[in-house]
Chain A
Amino acid sequence: MAAVSTGFPAGLSPLEERVAEIRRSVEAGAHEIDVVITRAHVFAAHWQALYDEIAAFKQACGAAHMKVILGTGDLLTLRNVARASFVAMMAGADFIKTSTGKEPTNATLPVSLVMVRAIREYAQQTGMAVGFKPAGGIRTAKQSLDWLALMKEELGPSWLRAEMFRFGASGLLGDIERQLDHYATGRYSAEYRHPIA
């Protein structure tokens, strides 16, 4: 079971509230917790505050798997994305994730490239493998191939497994089914012929 906690999507409620949210989710049986960061820490370059916040989330998660949502559509610059990625990983993120889906821009390839290269650099320096989750806007099988190629080229095949790479894209599965249908029959399929996942 997965849960989104920490004042999703804005991450603006008091820290104690957000930590308590995580605890409740974990107590309720969640194995995966998506947390959102306080974007203001990034804009103000309050890296220690950002680190402390994420470390507190991690502590509350306990054994649960923590995905840190950076809200890249809010962060706007690639520099901000890179720095926030590193702080999140240092503070214990199991996954870093682009977006909540509620920001003005969802996962983009440039932003994903920056995050993936941060993961690579972090792995090279620490030996710790952090996963990546692009979220929002990836609706077609064809688009998903861009991200698969990105992971394969930048991080290698081991990052193509589900433990290290996920899509946050609710509409994607249907299109993948359409493509498999086409592969099997040679005819192009229609969306409505596949059950909503």
Chain B
Amino acid sequence: MSIAEKFVSMEYGPAPEDPKEAGAWLERHGRRFGLFIDGAWQAPAAGEYFETLDPSSGDKLASVAQGGVPDIDAAVRAARAACPKWRALTPHARARYLYALARLVQKHSRLLAVLETMDNGKPIRESRDIDIPLVARHFYYHAGWAQLLDQEFPEHEACGVVGQIIPWNFPLLMLAWKIAPALATGNTVVLKPAEFTPLTALAFAELCQEAGLPAGVVNIVTGDGTTGEALVKHPGVDKIAFTGSTEVGRAIRGATAASHKRLSLELGGKSPFIIFDDADLDSAVEGLVDGIWFNQGQVCCAGSRLLMQESIAEKLTSKIRDRMSSLRLGPPLDKAIDIGAIVARVQLDRIQRMVEQGVAEGATCWQPQVALPSRGFYYPPTLLSNVHPTSIVAQQEIFGPVLAAMTFRTPKEAVELANNTVYGLASCVWSENINVALHVAAQIKAGVVWVNCTNLFDAACGFGGYRESGYGREGGKEGLLEYMEPKWFKHAPKLPATTAVVSAQVVESPEAGTPAIDRTVKLYIGGKQARPDSGYSMEVRAQDGRLLGEAPLGNRKDIRNAVEAARKAEGWAKATAHNRAQVLYYCAENLGLRRDEIIRRLAAVVGEKQAAAEVDLGIARIFSYAAWADKFDGAVHNPPFRNIAIAMNEPIGTVGVICPSDAPLLGFLSLVMPLLAVGNTVIAVPSEKYPLIAGDLYQLFDTSDLPGGAVNIVTGYVSQLLKTLAEHDDIDAIWCYGDEATVASAKAMSTGNLKQVWTNEGRTIDWFNPQLAEGRWFLEHATQVKNIWVPYGE
């Protein structure tokens, strides 16, 4: 075509990025890669390799080592050996390494971008302009944290050896999200890249060598799911950080339950994309393009559920179709391509299957006329309308360029639909009215709300989900804390294993004179005293074996009732922080009034001295959390956009608490009060040793203006109640303080809805030391961060 003809047709020509350098890099390695362990390349012990393909053609790119159990073991050992020296470096020295990695990523940015596109199939425009710059940004940001670590976190230390498993959708970016915070805080790493996309991680290993990173600090072990499983199960690993499917996340939770491995999970999503009638529709449509057609929709936080206000649905749908028609699909190395290839055949099949099922369930499928390349794995941009909320395409993650559209009439309905999901990773709200947008943003259960923008990420802003989208955050201060623990905690002694409750040995002799009035302690559910469903009681005995009384024996139905009451009391979260503080102070005031009588009763179980300390420190502890209630603020981040991100500390929701038995009053208050202070509602199982404390506690709450249902108390045997609590799908988190076996079972049984689990890891906590037993550490676990991004400019 002549230039003159081109000026007439005005079609886009091909604009291919040259893959020559990336090809040369592959050739230099003989298109065959070993494992990067202890600073050197090693062949896999079993000598097995697998192929990684270019999804845009199906051609083989390279052979990559299949890491096995012995390879994982070698990598973990190398990481363990490197740990003490790495941790002993000054923060400044670690900052220099991270800074060097950031610089090296920039210096080799095009090679990394091209490799990423070849291995993953994403458009070069994205790998070059989004993924790789964000990778560098993460290393710079965390170089900064490394520098400031001792000043900002003097009481924390690294977890140790961290096993990291990353997905194939943003291979190098996810590597950066994992490795940068781990190294900054003094951990060493064994990372397993995704089977489909190992190449950039291997290129990164070379950058580690170039940066002179000490051997063993970063180890890269490629392989499939079995390699990941070996890493998860390796006893030498202190923490697992995983990004991937909810299904695998659940398996990891189960597999690590009996260990002390810390866990952060970044899982799936079905994120709502809400467009109100007063939105700038053209901008919203562009947002949608970035929401669901970015990276072929293979994005955990993809805006895959479109919720349109009914009055604009028709107009908006027409705009969306017009825009879809101009999306360019084709070879991802072309610089003017919007939609590249799907990562693998298996994923393409899955997308096709789900769309077919969605259509079978009544959805209308619309796709623009677009020619798919004859080779490679491609799927056209797809709009499913008339989607019913019960449809598979409204409920399950498709992980492809498929948008499921629904309508709503009112903001209330929009929120209801938005939250009608087991996930809670991200969301978008489009409205030119900031009041509406923020009103809705506050109600959405998701870790990120993008107002009038989409899929923005920054190292300074924590990213992570609510509900089954996982727990923990990546990025920001909260992301950093996932890789550290309070120094004292790891070294706290183990609690002795709980023994079965002793049966009656000493029969109490009746005292002379008028008998005491019988005291009946009950359960406390929804602000009312309730008899146990079972109709049974449990004996409560003094230190000397004397029968002190009987506590109600709670069962699963009592837990069920308590959870329902706690859900109904969610207004507590909406009460002002000042109001929550006032209620807590009032609790302290009333505990003060009852000081002597409670000490007298408690003394029979824990002795006079401890009883007095529990009450007096308990009053102070309540004061502490009353004080914190209006001070545990969020943050305002300044990401490098014309934008602010408001990080809000939100309550987790409804939390089940297994209280420690050794300090019946103080242990209860130490766990329940921080949860209440930030707006959670609680179902607490008090100390098995002295459940009668419930009677004192509910009298305290009843007289202190605490709304009914904010705290529910179910006494009984932990062995019986924990299961119902941990398995309950309407409980958002469980705090379990007990011996090792108890906390392990709490973790194992929490996999159903992937509720957050926080335990003492079977260790002793000195509840009588306010330095350890109260403060930010507890509040951080009582909250989850929601980032609300709000752009500005006119």
Query: Are the C-beta atoms of A183 and B3 separated by less than 8 Å?
Result: yes
Please indicate the chain A residues that have their CB under 8 angstroms from the CB of B282 in the complex: 117
- B360 on interface, CB distance cutoff 8 Å: no
A29 within 8 A of B: no
Q: Please report which residues of chain B, range 608-640, place their CB below 8 angstroms from some CB of chain A when the two chains form the complex.
A: none
- Does B326 lie at the interface of the complex (its beta carbon under 8 Å from any beta carbon of A)? yes
Given the known interface contacts A117-B282, A183-B3, the answer about A160 and B10 at a Cβ–Cβ threshold of 8 Å is yes
In the assembled complex, the Cα of A197 lies from the Cα of B699 at a distance in Å of: 91
What's the Cα separation between A122 and B89 when bound, in Å? 65
For B794, the closest partner residue in chain A by CB is A77
**Contacts of B326 on A, CB cut-off 8 Å?**
153
Separation of A79 and B3 alpha carbons in the complex (Å): 39
Closest to A184 in B: B3
A152 at the interface (CB under 8 A from B): yes
Docked CA distance A148–B326 (Å): 15
Q: A157 an interface residue at 8 Å Cβ cutoff?
A: yes
Write out the residue numbers on chain B whose beta carbons fall within 8 Å of the beta carbon of A117: 282
**What distance in Å separates the Cβ of B106 from its nearest Cβ neighbour in chain A?**
24
User: A77 to chain B: which residues have CB within 8 Å?
Assistant: 794
Does A78 reach chain B (CB closer than 8 Å)? yes
Whether A152 pairs with B10 at a CB distance below 8 angstroms is: yes
For A114, the closest partner residue in chain B by CB is B282
Q: Specify the main secondary structure of chain B where it touches its partner.
A: loop
A61 to B794, CA, bound (A): 34
Question: How far, in whole Å, are A148 and B282 apart by their CA atoms in the complex?
Answer: 19
Smallest beta-carbon distance A67→chain B, Å = 22
What chain B residues lie within 8 Å of A78 (beta carbons)? Answer: 794
B316 to nearest A CB, angstroms?
13
Q: How far is the CB of A154 from chain B (nearest CB, A)?
A: 8
CA distance A128 to B794 in the complex (A): 28
Instruction: Kindly state the separation between the CA atoms of A183 and B2 in the bound complex, as whole angstroms.
Output: 12
Contact assessment for B3 and A157 in the assembled complex, using a CB-CB cutoff below 8 Å: no
Known: A117-B282, A183-B3. A157 touches B794 (CB 8 A): no
Question: For residue A148, which residue of chain B has the nearest CB?
Answer: B10
Interface residues of A in 118-160 (CB under 8 A from B): 148, 152-153, 157, 160
Q: Hey, which chain A residues are within 8 Å of B794, CB to CB?
A: 77-79
Please give, as numbers and ranges, the residues of chain B lying within 8 Å of A157 by CB-CB distance: 10
A150 CB to closest chain B CB (Å) equals: 12
Q: How many Å from the CB of B287 to the closest CB on chain A?
A: 14
Separation of A157 and B7 alpha carbons in the complex (Å): 11
Q: Which of A72-122 touch B at CB < 8 Å?
A: 77-79, 117
Please indicate the chain B residues that have their CB under 8 angstroms from the CB of A183 in the complex.
Answer: 3
- Give 1 or 0 for each of B6-32: 1 = CB within 8 Å of chain A CB: 000010000000000000000000000
In the bound complex, CA of A78 to CA of B282 (Å): 14
A185 to chain B, nearest CB (A): 14
A85 smallest CB distance to B (angstroms): 13
Residue on B nearest A80 in the bound complex, by CB:
B794
Residue of B at shortest CB range from A113?
Answer: B282
Q: How far is the CA of A48 from the CA of B282 in the complex (A)?
A: 26
Q: A79 contacts which chain B residues (CB < 8 A)?
A: 794
CA distance A152 to B326 in the complex (A): 10
For B10, list chain A residues within 8 Å (CB): 148, 152, 157, 160
Q: How distant is B476 from chain A, measured CB to nearest CB, in Å?
A: 30
Question: Which residues of chain B are near A148, meaning CB under 8 Å?
Answer: 10
A119 → chain B closest CB, angstroms: 12
The residues of B that contact A153 with a CB separation of less than 8 Å are 326
Q: Which residues of A171-197 have CB atoms within 8 Å of chain B's CB atoms?
A: 180, 183
Kindly list chain B residues whose C-beta atoms are within 8 Å of the C-beta of A180: 3
**Alpha-carbon separation in the docked complex, A153 to B282 (Å):** 12
CB distance from B138 to the nearest CB of A (A): 29
Which of A148, A157, A180, A183 counts the most B-chain CB atoms under 10 A from its CB? A157
Closest to A116 in B: B282
Closest to A153 in B: B326
Chain B residue, CB-CB nearest to A82: B280
Cβ of A92 to closest chain B Cβ, rounded Å: 24
A77 to B10 CA separation, bound complex (whole angstroms):
32
Chain B residue nearest in CB terms to A152: B10
Chain B residue contacts of A152, Cβ below 8 A: 10
Q: Which B residue's beta carbon lies closest to that of A76?
A: B794
Nearest CB of chain B from residue A122's CB, rounded to whole Å? 13
Closest CB in chain B relative to A157 CB, distance in Å:
5
Q: CA A183 – CA B3 in complex, angstroms?
A: 10
> Which A residues are CB-close (under 8 A) to B3?
180, 183
Q: In chain B, what residue has the closest Cβ to A157?
A: B10
Q: How far is the CB of B293 from chain A (nearest CB, A)?
A: 14
Q: Which positions 290-334 of chain B face chain A at CB distance < 8 Å?
A: 326
B700 CB to nearest A CB, Å: 56
CA distance A45 to B794 in the complex (A): 17
**Complex CA distance for A183 and B6, rounded to whole angstroms:** 14
In the complex, how many angstroms separate the beta carbon of B394 from the nearest chain A beta carbon?
Answer: 30
Smallest CB–CB gap between B161 and chain A, Å?
Answer: 49
Scan residues 249-293 of chain B and give those whose CB is less than 8 A from a CB of chain A.
Answer: 282
Query: When each residue 21-45 of chain B gets 1 if its CB lies under 8 Å from chain A and 0 otherwise, what string results?
Result: 0000000000000000000000000
Mask: chain B, 673-701; 1 = CB below 8 Å from A; 0 = not: 00000000000000000000000000000
Chain B's nearest CB lies how many Å from the CB of A174? 18
A15 CB to nearest chain B CB (Å) = 30
- Nearest-neighbour CB distance to chain A for B466, whole angstroms, equals 34
Q: Could you name 11 residue pairs across A and B whose Cβ atoms are closer than 8 Å?
A: A77-B794, A78-B794, A79-B794, A117-B282, A148-B10, A152-B10, A153-B326, A157-B10, A160-B10, A180-B3, A183-B3
**Given A78-B794, A148-B10, A152-B10, 5 other A-B contacts at CB below 8 A?**
A77-B794, A117-B282, A153-B326, A157-B10, A183-B3
- Nearest 8 pairs of A and B residues by beta carbon: A77-B794, A160-B10, A117-B282, A157-B10, A78-B794, A153-B326, A152-B10, A79-B794
B residues bordering A, Cβ < 8 Å? Answer: 3, 10, 282, 326, 794
